[in-house]
Structure 1
Amino acid sequence: MTNTKHIYYLLLYIPYALSLLIQLSPHSSYLVAWLGSFFIFFICYKGVIKKLPDDLPIIEQLLRPIFFLQIVFAGYMACTSIFYYANALGYEYLTYIGNRNLLSGDIYQSIANCQRYYVLGHAALAHGLIAGMKGQQEKRYQIYAPSMSNLLLGISSFCLPLGYLFSKVGALNQFSVQLSGLSFVAGAIALSFAIQENKRVNLWASGGLFAVNMLFALSSGFKEPIIICILLLGIFLLPVYGKKVLPVLFSVLLVLFFVLPTFIGNFRKMVSEGTDATTARNESINRIINSANLVEDLQEDNWMFLTDRLSEIGMFIRYTESTPYFVPFYKTTLLKDAFQTVIPRFFWPGKPNVEQLVMNRVYAAGVVDRQAIVSAKPAYVVDCYLSYGAIGIWIGLFLYGYLAQFLSNLAEKMFGGYFLGSAVMFAGLFQILWRGNSLEFLFNAVFWSIVTLFIFQFIFKTRGILYRV
């Protein structure tokens, strides 16, 4: 991986440049920018700019940022807009039904404009990821674990109750998200290793933990934790069962994508009306099972999900229409606010409410009304745009990719290689990087995840799990 062809980095920006050249034709510009993300994936995975890590077979290193993080982050950011675009053209799935809503005259120009920003962001993200990749690193630590499923089961069992306990203690609440995420990832991987090692006790224990994590995910009101649970299990079963896992994995994910929008919609509605999470979860499942028009309801809810919630380009358009024309660029304001978030409220009782800081720019852009009881936090790429426009997107996404790769490298150096480093610690503590978030929430989570990373290394060394080579 040492022979980097630096001039080849320009290949990543070809889709953005082409889409800019034909911007007077919004449909063509949109499609070039949208297809450009697949071109960027191709460039990355063919190793055109820099050779991919070869210390492990590709199938055994999928949780490195160049693979999983890029696919999830860039796929969600840049590829899901196709449903919004199809809806704007008057299609529902593959059927033309005409436009139900009044569209502004330049809607296609607005969609193409935002898609150009997306493909620029994807190119910068890939640039950062590739630039951050290192060659074979010298191993400083070695793992001592006679049974990997025992180790993972222990990590998950330790972190799950501790994360819950910390969430109830104000001064320690900061670590609850990190511990819960680590328990969630370790539990999913423990189940795959228990299957591989054919240990019945571990299989039942890790299966129980996986079920508990799934129940928590179903009660979270979000789709991502549920999908990630299944994805992680599938990724770690791939080396064991090979490509036989893929049809099952894709089938399960397809069912989830089809059913979850209706489930989450019912769940959130009942919770907003005062129903407790457990009752809302069970009732939402019952409504789907007992629905008289199940297929029709699922199809309608799923199309609304694909066009309005899976893709955030509709909200991005609102931001680009207001900034910088009515609301000036925020410049370094968001970064300054992000630095403040890392200070625990225990030490700063007057610390500004982070949710309110973020929502202020949502209200300023007119994305949602101040009276609405809803959280519509801008995505990371939007915050980059709101700071400095296109140049903000390029700088922000390059640093995002480089930081993600740096943290993965750091975790592998600290925890003896890919498995415990990237697959467990990086994936468990830095899950927020998979999807991204508003700058303030992202900065806070990454900072405290780094602190947690060093705490766990200290614990593992004192327990003899890690020893210096």
Structure 2
Amino acid sequence: MGDKNLERYIALFIPWILASLFSSDAYLSYWIAWLGSFVIFFLTLTGWVRPIPTDRPIGSQLMRPMFIMHIIFAGYTCCTSIFYFFSVLGYDEFQAPLGAFTIDKDKLELTAQCQRYYCLGHAAFISGLLMFMKYPKKQKYYIEKTSLATLLLKIALISLPLSNILTKIPGLSQFSIQFSALSFIAGTLALAFAIPLKKTVNTVICGILYVFNFYISLTSGFKEPIIISVLVLGIFLYPNYKKLVLITFVPALFLLFIVLPAYVNNFRATAWSGDASADDAAQQSLDVALESDNTTTWAFLTIRLSEIDMFTNFVKSTPETVDYYGTKLLEQSAIAIVPRIFWQGKPITEDLVMERVYNAGVVNKNSKVSAKPAYIVDGYLSAGTFGVFLSMFLYGAIAQLISNKAEELFGGYILGTALIFSGLFQIFWRGLSFEFIINSVFWDYMSMLGVFHVMIRQKILKKV
């Protein structure tokens, strides 16, 4: 376990404690809890709580959980509610309310309460992660550094068709998602290796592969794959091209957040309805996004960017009208792990998850909307405040332990964390309902062990 500076871990929970003490003032309580997450980011990312590993420069270890996973998961979960909060205060399209506006006090109090849970969850999550962070791990295996760039390219080229094959085999579709992500990460990492090494053939092949993956992301109808495509390439290039990455990738990511809401909404409306092909829908949607006003952006920022609106509905109903679920969600997660090929009558995971959504009245049972609760929400639904703390602590601890294991098995950071952990366990970056994330992490771990044994047999990995 981590170092003995227990008081520094306790300090991470001070924002939540202060926000709880001022809970009678919802406005102030929200601000304390929301700003508290930025305090937690500062205390952890500067190495105050626990020193940052020194085995690699900071810019060369950004794919470790304390950096990219922490920033994306906690940033998305805990910090994106600010626009929803302003909408509760009456703001519309970034404009303050004109004239008399009556604030819904119940809605404001629920928003502040949920933000306090986010702040508590953030502190618990990063505490679990830091306590089990151990780098560098004593490596049992190694790989020849001279063959690393070529190996990454081979993994990318093998994983992509393997992913397509797995989509066609009943019961193995989730492995398809794993190897698709692995192919993307491997190809992007290989591209970042090939450019500074001036390997023309590798650069061209990896460039084509990256463009192909970006096209798939662009025509997926979802925002996250597009953003991740740009973000990951920037992170991999950063160690060798710091200034160039900061000048180009940071503005590019900012631009994506502005144009993607309109792009995705229009793409879904045209491509998913069958009115246009994916290519035509993408071109049309891009034109719409670049010409649109900020109305779509504001709707995205207030409702779609954050899941706090749905969280308030769950908090409003549990435990007042729906009791805490206790261990029921974990039992359902155990069921989800069993492959359907071995249990033909296994309940559909989506139905199990949506049942609590209907119970809370978040959406109507007759609607076709999918509104699965976030991981932290399931922690709350299981056991209230304690459920948030325990589930989030375990989330960070398990992610970190897996990263430790990956570096131990695959000869260090490049293959262990940057490739295997980031490729197979990308679900940690966003988080999902208990059933989906527990099932995914379990089988991701099995895939990791499978890849390890293949590399051992092929003598790619050698014993130290």
Per the normalisation by structure 1, the TM-score is 0.95
Of residues 429, 442, 445 in structure 2, which corresponds to 1:447? 442
Structure 2 counterpart SS, 1:267: helix
Contact 2:90 2:103 in 1 (8 A): no
1:99–1:158 Cα change, 3 Å: farther
Q: Which moved more, 1:447-456 or 1:196-205?
A: 196-205
| Residue equivalent to 2:315 | 320
Structure 1, unaligned runs of 5 or more = none
The counterpart of 2:368, out of the listed 367, 373, 385, is 373
Aligned to 1:117: 117
Aligned to 2:218: 218
| Equivalent residue in structure 2 for 1:389, among 364, 384, 389 | 384
Q: Are 2:243 and 1:243 aligned?
A: yes
SS of residue in 1 equivalent to 2:105: coil
Secondary structure at the aligned position of 1:51 is classed as coil
Determine helix, strand or coil for the equivalent of 1:52. coil
Query: Structure 1 residues 99 and 90 mapped into 2: Cα distance closer, same or farther (>3 Å)?
Result: farther
Q: Which residue of 2 aligns with 1:342?
A: 337
Alpha-carbon deviation of 1:48?
2.3
Q: How does 1:5-84 map to 2 (within 5 A)?
A: 5-84=5-84
CA shift in 2, pair 1:304/1:452, >3 Å:
same
Q: Is the contact between residue 261 and residue 301 of structure 1 (CA under 8 Å) also seen in structure 2? A: yes
**Residue among 285, 310, 316 paired with 2:283:** 285
Q: Distance in 1 between matches of 2:6 and 2:220?
A: 44
Range with bigger deviation, 202-211 or 100-109: 100-109
Are the equivalent residues in 2 in contact too, given 1:6–1:49 (CA < 8 A)? Answer: no
Matched-pair contact (CA < 8 Å) for 1:117–1:390: yes
CA–CA distance in 2 between the matches of 1:213 and 1:176?
Answer: 14
- Partner-residue secondary structure (3-state), 2:438: helix
CA contact (8 A) 2:135 2:404 kept: no
Q: In 2 relative to 1, CA 233–458 (structure 1 residues): closer, same or farther, beyond 3 Å?
A: same
Q: Find the residue that maps to 1:377 and give its secondary structure.
A: coil
1:416 aligns with 2:414: no
- The CA distance in 2 between the partners of 1:345 and 1:94, in whole Å, is 48
Taking the aligned partners of 2:135 and 2:227, their CA distance within structure 1 comes to: 32
Deviates more, 1:11-20 or 1:354-363: 354-363
Specify the code of the residue in structure 1 equivalent to 2:206.
S
Give, as a single letter, the amino acid of the residue that structure 1 aligns with 2:106.
Answer: D
CA distances 1:431-456 after superposition (whole Å, capped 9, x unpaired):
00000001101011100100000111
Mean CA deviation greater in 348-357 or 359-368: 359-368
Cα distance in 1, alignment partners of residues 79 and 171 from structure 2: 40
SS at match of 1:47: coil
| Aligned pairs (5 A) from 1:57-456 | 57-92=57-92, 94-98=94-98, 104-275=104-275, 279-289=277-287, 291=288, 294-295=290-291, 297-456=292-451
Q: Is the 8 A contact 1:85 1:111 kept in 2?
A: yes
Residue-pair matches, total: 464
Cα distance, 1:143 vs structure 2: 1.0
Q: Distance in 2 between matches of 1:412 and 1:162?
A: 24
Return the alpha-carbon distance in structure 1 between the equivalents of residues 236 and 131 of structure 2.
Answer: 27
Contact 1:34–1:115 (Cα < 8 Å) also in 2:
yes
**Which SS does the other structure have where 1:56 is aligned?**
coil
After TM superposition, which residue ranges in structure 1, 4 or more long, deviate above 6 angstroms?
99-103
1:219 deviates by 2.3
Q: Secondary structure at the match of 2:142?
A: strand
Within 2, Cα distance between the matches of 1:356 and 1:98? 44
How far did 1:230 drift?
Answer: 0.6
- Amino acid in structure 2 at the alignment position of 1:371: N
How far the C-alpha of 1:126 sits from its partner, in A, is 0.8
Contact 1:89 1:98 in 2 (8 A): no
User: 3-state DSSP class of the match of 1:211?
Assistant: helix
Q: What amino acid does structure 2 have at the position aligned with 1:52? A: I
Q: What do residues 320-349 of structure 1 show as CA deviations (whole Å, max 9, x unaligned)?
A: 001111111111010000011111110100
Task: Please report how far the alpha carbon of residue 145 of structure 1 lies from its aligned counterpart in structure 2 after TM superposition.
Answer: 4.7
The Cα shift of 1:2 comes to: 6.3
Range 349-358 or range 190-199, more displaced: 190-199
2:455 matches 1:460: yes
1:281, distance to aligned residue in structure 2 (A): 5.0
Within 2, Cα distance between the matches of 1:64 and 1:136?
12
Task: Give me the whole-angstrom Cα distance separating, in 1, the residues matched to 2:92 and 2:250.
Answer: 23
| CA apart distance, 1:247 | 2.0
Structure 2 gap ranges (5+): none
Larger deviation, residues 184-193 vs 412-421: 184-193
Distance in 2 (alpha carbons) for counterparts of 1:35 and 1:193 = 38
Q: How far did 1:385 drift?
A: 0.5
What is the CA-CA distance between 1:294 and the residue it aligns to?
4.7
2:448 partner SS: helix
Q: Is 2:258–2:297's contact at 8 Å kept on the other side of the alignment?
A: yes
Contact 1:144/1:464 (CA < 8 Å) preserved in 2? no
**Does the C-alpha gap of structure 1 residues 373 and 249 become closer, same or farther in structure 2, counting only changes over 3 Å?**
same
Separation (CA, whole Å) in 2 of partners of 1:216 and 1:342: 28
Q: Give 1:459 shift.
A: 1.1
Which amino acid counterpart does residue 29 of structure 1 have in structure 2?
A: S
Structure 1 position 97, deviation (Å): 4.0
2:33 and 2:116 in contact (8 A); partners too: yes
Paired-residue identity, %: 45
